[in-house]
Amino acid sequence: MRVFPFPSSRSAGAITLVLAGLCPTILAAAPVRIGPEDGARFRGIPVSQSFRPDGSSVLRTADGAVCLVSARIDIAQSRYLSPEGQAVAFSDVLRSPASTVQMAAAAGQAPEIRIQLKYALAPGQPVQLQIGDAAPIDLPDYLREASGDSLRLTGALAATVASSLASGETLHLTAISRDTGRQVTDRLPAPDQTALAGCLADLASDSPDAAPAEAPTHLHQVIVDAAPDPERIATPGDMRACGMPEVPETLYLGRIRSVTGFVSHTDRMFVAFDAAGTVSHAWIPGIFETGLKNGQGRARISRAADGNIPGTPHEVSGCIGMRSVEICSHPLDDGSLRLGPCLPDPELLALSEAPGIPGLPVTPPGTLRTSSSTPPSGPGILPLTPGGSDSGDSTPEAQRLRLTTSETYAAVPIAPVPLPASGLLLAGTLAGLAWMRRRRRTA
């Protein structure tokens, strides 16, 4: 950091007077600059995800596009055994509903499979895969990803697993939890490989159906079709299928069109509305939770979802709630809803055509904060949901690493908005120059 000497008493008055003319414009225009260390610590790579009608999605990054299909592991039906071999009730298990089997491929390439277990695998303990009635096989350690809670299958093994799932065979995966020592046995669900093939065909032919809805970005945003329509009320079956816990509000099932800044394993979102018909809460179970009042609030996003990019090593694990960002709800012209960064005031943006001093950016109200600011309290701050462990000891870490608004909005591109010329600016500057000239004559 550069240190500038304090001005001498002779020059201090001139500097003060000159800045007095500048201050009205500086205070209105200068955004708070956030250092990269504040924002980049837990930020994933820029990504956009567009969902197709069949539930598959196209993910785009700077490296290209891939198709993705996912199926959620029914963790409530999994088997949990204590280190002593006794059955553990699911009510005593802390595990994310975002546990999934994902299949992804780029055009012209064979699919790879990622199994997100959402509990940390015990080092040195075997991970066994059983296909049908065949004897279980020990999976090699190199399939374990750096995140510690997922496996990445490629090549012949991925092809074998995909073929077995497509043929309807039953696959079970058994492993030991690092944090509890429990043995966990999951039945692996089958992602929709027909949908994956259709997505890949469109991707290879540059079909409009594979075109991205949004450009890849760090900014967290969800475009969803949702409305307080009685015909869209979520049923208990909908909630069980997605791992959505019971809440005291009436929930409506929304369909996600697109996502940016993170990856969702599902196109389903559960939305609650207030009496005025605006969004009060929204959930993608295990991935995204937000509470809003008057269209504004905070969202908490799983760090694992932030770093879960198919085709790249998965190095991130953690709880939902370890990323906390400011978010607003905006109705769109086509009837969908945008849950994303809060936008500048439209009247402020209208000044962009006004004559004045070009090149001075305007800070959107309520978006940028200094790195020392603390997240505001308010509605919608929901209880932490486990994301990386079934041991129940992740809450302190989540609270310790919880990030402020500055972490997300440090890299928000803000378009320069010219401001009207200020008579006070000119008067102050001229007064300062005149004072300096008088001082020079009497020196």
Name all domains of the chain by residue range, CATH numbers in brackets.
36-43+217-347+371-409 (no CATH), 66-209 (2.60.40)
Which among 260, 246, 249 is positioned nearest to 216, based on CA atoms? 260
Q: 3-class SS at 431?
A: helix
For 220-243, what is the mean pLDDT?
Answer: 89
SS3 301: strand
- How far apart CA 120 and CA 149 sit, in angstroms, is 4
Tens-place pLDDT, residues 69-124: 999 999 999 999 999 999 999 999 999 888 999 999 999 899 999 999 999 999 99
Structure confidence at residue 406 as a pLDDT band (50, 70, 90)? very low
* 380-402: pLDDT as tens digits: 333 333 444 443 333 333 332 22
CA angle 271, 272, 277 (to 5 degrees): 110
Distant-in-sequence, close-in-space partners of 8: CB < 8 Å, separation ≥ 6: none
Asked if 277 and 228 touch (Cβ cutoff 8 Å), the reply is: yes
